Chains A and B, each alone.
Chain A
Amino acid sequence: MNPVQLNAISLRFRHIWYRNLITYRRIWRVNFLVPLLEPGFYILAFGLGFSGLINGVEYAGKHLVYTRFMAPALVATACMWNSFFETTYTSFVRMYYQKTFDGILATPISIEEIIIAEVVWAASKAAAAVALMLLVLMPLGYADFPRALMCIPLAFLGGIAFAAVGIFFTGVIPTIDMFNLPIFLFITPMFLFSGTFFPVAGIAKWAAIFPLIFPLYHLVELTRFFCLGFMESNPVFNLVYLLLFASVFGGLGLVFMKRRLIK
């Protein structure tokens, strides 16, 4: 066994972060297009399509138009998808097919630094996507300026949490096709039941524990707070949970990725 070494962690990870930034910039048009268009599609679909079916939503003691309830959740889920995909599919391709990590491991950079770079990069990408979404949502009145700008650093923190759980799956999954499993069993239910499309208050009592376990719920809550100015849960609890989740899976990710890469 090769335990994770703390003295193998230094700021050198920034070089790999920069490498990822360069490849991101090379196809920036594609990378920018999705976060810019996605909120528009959802708001059109739910605003025009759904508003006829639903009067509005009761949330934190207030009555909200459905699209205003849902828009902050869009921001949080975009953060989740961006960071989780980056450290699962994209990192797996870099690790397994492109042998990029093998090449880097012949330089003075450690495995620990490679993994940290992947996670921090994924969080940065998520924060960038959220910033772009705010460019659309703020003028439309779905996120209040300037408080909603806090969603950007928040997305970085949320991004770390989802990237950490992603890199953990990358460390344990045998083949790339098997990412379907965590996506179907973990990400999709989380996407649907984290107070994203309907308030958690509407969930049966026995099932109400699930949103509390899902990190997305906590991120959605905090995002809603920064977009709307009010929320139904305790922000300190949400923040602490996200930090804990990120540290636990970040640690597990380091252990399992190291086990996988070192032969």
Chain B
Amino acid sequence: MNIIEANQVVKRYGAFTAVDGISFSIQSGEFFGLLGPNGAGKTSAIRMIYGFSPVTSGQMRVFGLDIAQDWRRIRSRLGVCQQENTLDPDLTVELNLLIYGRYFDKPKAQVRQRTEELLTFFALNNKRQAKVMELSGGLARRLQLARALIADPDLLILDEPTTGLDPQSRHQVWDRLLELKKGGLTMLLTTHYMDEAESLCDRLLIMDHGQIVTQGRPRGLITEHAAENVIEIEGPGPDLKTYIKENAIKHDDLGERIIIYTQADGRLAEEVRRKFCMGSCLFRTGNLEDVFLRLTGRELRE
């Protein structure tokens, strides 16, 4: 059975359509990514999954249940780490977990035990009496993750869990997430960091203007929409442009820079290196950021 089954889901706010008929499914144990530029509809999609926003049309089934009817049963099996800091600033670190656990109607002793486990797992033990306001960005995010896990969820929803964190904190969050994944937890992640999505997600989809642009496994998407190898050439001359045209090479012309997508065998790369790399050339492997920019464009969104 699929953990999430979205079928032609639409979300409208008045005249504005935030999510325009998306269909996808997430299987048990999967780490699934939801990517897209600002305003693509990611957060709207996520909010429909946990019943914060009602679905305008289409079906959203979570754990095989309908979110409109069975929202309480669904939410009791969900953990949500929201994009904004929604920690309770009136409570200490420890109480944030203890009280939140009670919202799930779990017995006190069980919540207390889980709180201890999570304080240890997220290395928050020596901060248990700290006020939430005093926590650094990284600590606050770890606490928010811990809080999302308080009721032992079957699905963890992560809305930009590493935005605004320093590299150390990001890596710590990733380590925790990978450990949870090893334990078989199903996770749904939205992020702006393509390296994060590429390394964490088994499967992902890219949204833009409320619609799904593509979905698949990260490596598959890279070979399909970009290439295994990429050459970036600064200040391309007319001869390079002619060469690209004559050989019908997959590329992006950014004016001052040309990006060439090549296959793994390296023959094209060798020729380009010999003929056109007098100036600055960068040889690298293709990545998800190439896919993302090719599919959603390079214009600023906001």
Contact = CB atoms under 8 A, between A and B. Distances in A.
Partners in one complex: yes
Interface residues on B, range: 20 to 34
Interface string B72-116: 110110101010111111110001000110111100000000000
Interface stretch (B48-56, B234-242, B243-251, B280-288): B48-56
Interface string A96-116: 001110111111111000000
A263 B104 contact: no
A99 B84 contact: yes
Contacts of A26: 90
A103 B82 contact: yes
Interface in A94-136: 98-100, 102-110
A262 interface: yes
Nearest to A101: B86
Contacts of B13: 263
Contacts of A22: 91, 95, 99
Interface in B32-79: 47, 50, 52-54, 72-73, 75-76, 78
Contacts of B85: 99
A103 B79 CA distance: 11
17 contacts: A15-B102, A18-B99, A22-B91, A22-B99, A23-B90, A98-B89, A99-B85, A100-B90, A103-B86, A103-B87, A104-B103, A106-B82, A107-B103, A107-B104, A108-B73, A108-B105, A263-B47
B54 A262 contact: yes
Interface string A222-248: 000000000000000000000000000
Given A22-B91, A99-B84, A15 B99 contact: yes
Nearest to B78: A106
A105 B52 contact: yes
A106 B80 contact: yes
Contacts of B52: 102, 105-106, 262-263
B89 A18 contact: no
Given A19-B99, A22-B91, A23-B90, A106 B50 contact: yes
A108 B151 CA distance: 11
A260 interface: no
Interface residues of A, number: 24
B54 A2 contact: yes
A262 B53 CA distance: 6
B105 A19 contact: no
Interface in B200-254: none
A263 B54 CA distance: 8
Given A105-B52, A106-B80, A108-B103, A19 B88 contact: yes
A102 B102 contact: no
Interface in A56-81: none
B78 to A, nearest CB: 7
A12 interface: yes
Given A262-B54, A263-B13, A102 B86 contact: yes
Given A18-B99, A19-B99, A98-B90, 17 more contacts: A12-B103, A15-B103, A22-B95, A99-B86, A100-B86, A100-B90, A102-B84, A103-B88, A105-B52, A106-B75, A106-B82, A106-B86, A107-B151, A108-B75, A108-B104, A262-B53, A262-B54
A106 to B, nearest CB: 4
A12 to B, nearest CB: 6
A105 B53 CA distance: 10
Given A18-B102, A106-B50, A107-B104, A23 B91 contact: yes
